[in-house]
Structure 1
Amino acid sequence: MQTIYITGNDLTIEDIVKVSRENYKIEITPEAIDNVRKARELVDKFVDEEKIVYGITTGFGKFSDVTISKEETKTLQRNLIISHACGVGKHFSEDIVRAMMLLRINALSKGNSGVRLQTLNTLVEMLNKGVHPIVPEKGSLGASGDLAPLSHMVLVMLGEGEAIYKGERLSGKAALDKAGISTIDLTSKEGLALINGTQVMTAVGALTVYDAMNLLKIADISAALTMEALNGIVTAFDEKVHKVRSHKGQINTAKNMLRLLEGSNMTTNQGQIRVQDAYALRCIPQIHGASKDAIEYVKEKINIEINSATDNPLIFPEQEEVISGGNFHGQPMALSFDFLGIALAELANVSERRLERLVNPALGGLPAFLTKNGGINSGFMIVQYSAASLVSENKVLAHPASVDSIPSSANQEDHVSMGTIAARKAREILENVRSVIAMEILGACQGIDLAGNKGLGVGTKIAYDIVRKHTHTIEDDIVMYTEINKCEEIVKSNILVEEIEKVIGKLD
């Protein structure tokens, strides 16, 4: 059994993928268990002393000035969850739900939240046994944490709500019963500790960044195939050009392009056919590289967030302090995920421009719309339309969510991040980008065939052969969406990157 050990301090994006998509088990380390117990002891002490502490012996938000008696704390915590479960829309995929559960477990394991070990273990057990709460995508402002979606997660722990267990949609109670997990009764601080955090937006963003890092490599592969179909000039990728600017992503992209195209008989040098290429070819390192640098920045921010305590108030057992702060505010993630969406959108922008050069005989010199018998055949005409549609949709989606705010809780919570919206938009943009790049790859392979394949580069030949194993040169019009779907499945599987890296080493 493959296991990830949870400390609260050293979870990685790769760990998240292993747990959320590969069903690794998790186990909380003894040190983290000790930290959780110490924090809980302090909460119990304050409750016994009837000390006035936000979220422990008071109401929430605007009700923070309402004192709650010791006898009412269990009712308060249950009411918090059932009243806050106000999510709407379609529900998150199981991998995202598993990621948010893992991130909440990791945050609680830091020992600054004050939950009982029993409560934390229930969530661990749900994750390990595959009880996946139904969590609607919409309803979070991203600034008292992801209150609404996380409440849907916690409902199942109480035997309420709904969950997927072994492919079956069940009531929360039925799912727990089938998995052999007991329901819990929340006590002081626990409900707030479970839902007051950024784990939903961060789960969506972390998985999107992981997928984006793979897609960046495929974007380079796609661009390299188009370079060959259009006899692109590789001189522009000379490392001397990029070292005098020194952006890491740019340098790495130029290096990738030369490695992918090494040995190609389809590319040209400066002045051989023409002096220079259009920007969509010549500036591949600058454009792709900028997105790589942006996504690397987002990754750094996610690595901080996934190992942070983001609820309120925070418990500091060593100092016997409980401090009410604002770590639940999603602004660091909101800005990052808006940046992520913009960086991804640019990959599709330039990919579609390369596709246009492939289908437009005035620009690329290939047969119009990549078909030999134009007129009776439309070829790739509407493939470019579809790509253009997705690119324009991405421009709408890339509008920043974080520039918006709306007051809530009677203006007590008067600035919110909209970080969960930013993360969801970035995810949607990524899916559109994947489709556009699949269309470019399909078009580039068709262009190579029409240009006469004189011998491809060491990396691009591998990519071309994989694509042609599942598709073929299109002579006369066929149902195109099936070909696009085949190519998109190749992109999603990441087989292009895996097989190329076996031969030429890791792409940057």
Structure 2
Amino acid sequence: MGKQTFKLGEDWLTAGTAMQIVNHDYTITLSKATEHKINESWKIVQNIVEKGHPVYGINTGFGPLCTTKISKSETNILQTNILQSHSVGVGEPIAKDIAKLMLILKAQSLAKGYSGIALNTLRRIIWHIENDAIPVVPSQGSVGASGDLAPLSHLFLPLIGLGKVEYKNETITTEALFKKTGLAAIELGPKEGLALINGTQFIAAHAVKVVAQLHSILGQADVIGAMMIEGLQGSVKPFYNELHALRPFKGNVHVAKRVKKLLKGSEIMEAHVDCEKVQDPYSIRCIPQVHGASRAAWLHLKELLEVELNSVTDNPVIIDEELTISGGNFHGQPLAMALDYACLAASEIGNISDRRIYLSLEGNSPGVPKLLMNDTGINSGYMILQYTTAALASENKGLCFPSSADSIPTSLGQEDHVSMGSIGGRKALQVIGNVEKILAIELLTAAQAFEFRKPLKSGIYLDEVHNAVREQVAFASKDRVFADDIEKGIAMIKDQTILKVIDRVQSEHNISLKTKHSEEFENY
């Protein structure tokens, strides 16, 4: 079966599809109808230049220079100059896949046919995507309004023969790329430079990654939490539908049903069904409420992001021959606030995970020794692993201050309210990276606690997950360099090993963890 084709400017782009284009699971194309719309928009810009009527960014300066008239002969120079003058990014380069996402998202927006760009310029952007010649983009310098100006300027420097690209596993100058490929610099026409650098693609590309990675840790947190319930002999009752029907938040209901299904058929659960323990601590008992709330935040971001991915976000927009609008579709506020929400949601998954790790070390669950090791004193057991999760959880709390709460005027006051969504996107990914490490440590401690329940078995899901952990990390009966175990655990989380095990079990036994809300929470 061949690759699917995505029609830029026509098909509905989702975060999942964008990631598939990054990974070459889709090819991208422009239909004849889309090419016609792009050409018509470009012609309107040419007419504006010919008539000389002032339109922002076409025959005027930028920002506070919007009243400065640009002559017809200088309109092309203006567009080349804007890419150079606005390339002021600093800091380490963003990840290659995020820069590639930026190209894809910008191509989708330009293909809508409201930006006045030349068809050949868009085709060059598509060439970069298809050939993995990905521009080097500094991570810092955008305030998230008037478009992600600095990062987008760096992204498109290669179009005019400047900047650097990652190409065939090395970072080279655009000049070197041209020598290797036979390409030449493009001469940008009126409005093209502004169309390229106005927009929210830096914010949105980070949001795509947030949606993908937060989705991954949410799914894994449910499974790891269920394994910890088994290890610590937690109660299944807080996951009953009868409880959640009385407070039916979709995320809560979804998580509760998933965890209950994961625990189904467990000998471990049956062995303590008549115990005298009345209730569990919150980090066990309230998994549906906490994980569910984070799922709601994820869903909110996903829904807003899809609107953004299929929008025109540059300025001005060319509606038709009679109407050109200088507005604010470039303002990052819609995603900026949602990214801050998602950042907090991710942090809370790490926060409650750290609490479950701490519980597992206390030795208050029958059969599970303090610090998850029988021979302690000479051995410290898993004591210090929780120091690491405490440090990571605390670091995340510091990163959760909402970037969108800040605004600093720029452009001599012309751009007097900005979103800082670019910062929020970067911080959200940093928090998610820390949560992956916390969950890796919970996976190790849950597997260790689970071991003390043998020879009793769990249900088919969690036994197989435990086996997968043991293929990578052995049971610890004495101290060793636990950093090595943690690295293996992190690799399992990043590779989604336990989710792959769940998928395999479902396929082999023709069973499912799906709920009535799965369509919303499991697809992006």
Specify if TM > 0.5. yes
Query: Does residue 306 in structure 1 map to residue 309 in structure 2?
Result: yes
1:52 aligned onto 2:54? yes
Name the SS for the 1:489 alignment partner: helix
- SS at 2:405 equivalent: coil
SS at match of 1:410: helix
* DSSP 3-state at the match of 1:405: coil
Q: 1:36 to 1:18 in 2, by over 3 A?
A: same
In structure 1, C-alpha distance between the alignment counterparts of 2:319 and 2:110, rounded to whole Å: 13
Query: For 1:135-284, what aligned pairs fall within 5 Å after superposition?
Result: 135-267=137-269, 272-284=275-287
The answer on 1:447 being equivalent to 2:449 is yes
CA contact (8 A) 1:126 1:181 kept: no
The farther-off stretch of 458-467 and 169-178 is 169-178
1:7 Cα deviation from its structure 2 partner: 2.2
Q: Equivalent residue of 2:145, what SS?
A: coil
Look up the SS of the partner of 1:110 in the other structure. coil
Deviation at 1:267, TM superposition (A): 2.4
- Alignment partner of 1:361: what SS? coil
Aligned to 2:468: 466
User: Are the aligned partners of 1:81 and 1:151 in contact in 2 as well (CA < 8 Å)?
Assistant: yes
Q: 1:213 to 1:453 in 2, by over 3 A?
A: farther
Match for residue 122 of structure 2? 120
Contact in 2 for aligned 1:90/1:136 (Cα 8 Å): yes
- Counterpart CA distance in 1 for 2:95 and 2:512 is 33
Q: Which residue pairs with 2:331 in the alignment?
A: 329
String of CA shifts for 1:57-98, please: whole Å, max 9, x gaps: 000000000000111111111110011011111111111111
SS of 1:10's partner is: coil
- Pick aligned residue for 1:316 from 315, 319, 322: 319
Render the CA deviation track for 1:162-213: whole Å, top value 9, x for unaligned: 1110011100121243234332111110000001000011001111111211
Give the counterpart of 1:293 among 292, 296, 309: 296
Partner of 2:372: 370
- CA-to-partner distance for each residue in 1:87-129, whole Å, 9 max, x for gaps? 1111111111111100000000001111000111110111111
My pick for the range that moved more, 215-224 or 171-180, is 171-180
Identify the residue that residue 93 of structure 1 maps to in structure 2. 95
Q: Distance in 2 between matches of 1:356 and 1:486?
A: 21
Aligned-partner Cα distance in 2 for 1:322–1:149: 26
Partner of 1:419: 421
In structure 2, the residue matched to 1:505 is: 512
C-alpha separation between the residues in 1 aligned to 2:159 and 2:122? Answer: 10
TM-score for the superposition, normalised by structure 2:
0.94
Give the deviation of 1:450 after TM superposition: 2.8
Q: CA deviation at 1:25?
A: 2.9
Aligned residue type for 1:309: V
Q: Distance in 1 between matches of 2:119 and 2:79?
A: 16
Separation (CA, whole Å) in 2 of partners of 1:174 and 1:453:
63
Amino acid at match of 2:326: S
Divergent runs of 4+, >4 A? 268-271, 362-365
- Structure 1 equivalent of residue 72 of structure 2: 70
| Whole-Å separation in 1 of the counterparts to 2:298 and 2:222 | 15
Question: Matched residues in 2 for 1:410 and 1:416: separation?
Answer: 13
Q: Write the distance in 1 (CA, Å) between the matches of 2:449 and 2:377.
A: 18
3-state SS, counterpart of residue 297 of structure 2: helix
Aligned with residue 401 of structure 1, among 400, 403, 407: 403
Identical positions, percent: 39
Q: Is the 8 A contact 1:33 1:117 kept in 2?
A: yes
- Structure 2: which 5+ runs fail to align? 519-524
Q: Does the 8 Å contact 1:270/1:276 carry over to 2?
A: no
Quickly say closer, same or farther: Cα 1:44–1:104, change in 2 above 3 A: same
**Cα offsets for 1:461-498 (capped at 9, x unmatched):** 12111111111101111111111111111111113112
Aligned-pair CA distance for 1:22: 4.0
- Quote the residue 2:43 is aligned against: 41
Q: Count residues with an aligned counterpart.
A: 507
Distance 1:383 1:52, change over 3 A: same
**Relative to 1, partners in 2 of residues 1:38 and 1:154: Cα closer, same or farther, differing over 3 Å?**
same
What is the TM-score of this pair, normalised by structure 1?
0.97
Could you give the per-residue CA deviations for residues 361-414 of structure 1, whole angstroms, max 9, x where no partner exists? 247773221122111111211110000101001101111000000000101100
Q: Is the 2:367–2:452 Cα contact (8 Å) retained in structure 1?
A: no
> Do the aligned partners of 2:79 and 2:188 also contact (CA within 8 Å) in 1?
yes
Match runs of 1:344-359 below 5 Å = 344-359=346-361
Asked whether the 8 Å contact 1:259–1:458 carries over to 2, the reply is no
| Deviation per residue, 1:250-308 (Å, 9 max, x gap) | 00101000111111122267762411111101110011001011100110000000000
Q: Secondary structure at the match of 2:327?
A: coil
Note if contact 1:9-1:308 (Cα within 8 Å) is conserved in structure 2: no
Deviation string 1:206-252 (CA, Å, 9 cap, x unpaired) is: 11111211211100000001001100100111101001111011001
User: Distance between the aligned counterparts of 1:12 and 1:205, measured in 2?
Assistant: 11
SS of 1:55's equivalent?
coil
DSSP 3-state at the match of 2:91: strand
Structure 1 Cα separation of the partners of residues 455 and 354 of structure 2: 23
Aligned to 2:266, what secondary structure does the other structure show? coil
Q: Any unmatched runs of 5+ in structure 1?
A: none
Q: CA deviation at 1:506?
A: 4.7
Residue 367 of structure 2 contacts residue 453 of structure 2 at CA under 8 Å; is this kept in 1? no
**C-alpha separation between the residues in 1 aligned to 2:108 and 2:513?**
31
Cα distance in 2, alignment partners of residues 262 and 311 from structure 1: 52
Alpha-carbon offset, residue 436 of structure 1: 0.5
CA 1:180/1:267 → structure 2, altered by over 3 Å: closer, same or farther? farther
Whole-angstrom CA distance in 1 between matches of 2:109 and 2:251: 32
C-alpha contact (below 8 Å) 2:132/2:167 kept by paired residues: yes
User: Are the equivalent residues in 2 in contact too, given 1:281–1:354 (CA < 8 A)?
Assistant: yes
CA displacement 1:287-344 (0-9 Å, x = unmatched): 1001011100110000000000001000012x53111000000000100100110111
Counterparts of 1:233 and 1:488, CA distance in 2? 28
Separation in structure 2 between the aligned mates of residue 455 and residue 276 of structure 1, nearest angstrom: 23
Q: Distance in 2 between matches of 1:378 and 1:25?
A: 54
* Contact 2:115–2:316 (8 Å) recurs in 1: yes
- Measure the CA separation in 1 of the matches of 2:417 and 2:240: 48
The answer as to whether partners of 1:261 and 1:457 remain within 8 angstroms in 2 is yes
Q: Which secondary structure does the structure 2 equivalent of 1:169 belong to?
A: strand
Correspondence for 2:522: none
1:34 Cα deviation from its structure 2 partner = 1.3
The RMSD of aligned alpha carbons is 1.5
Q: Partner amino acid for 2:114? A: N
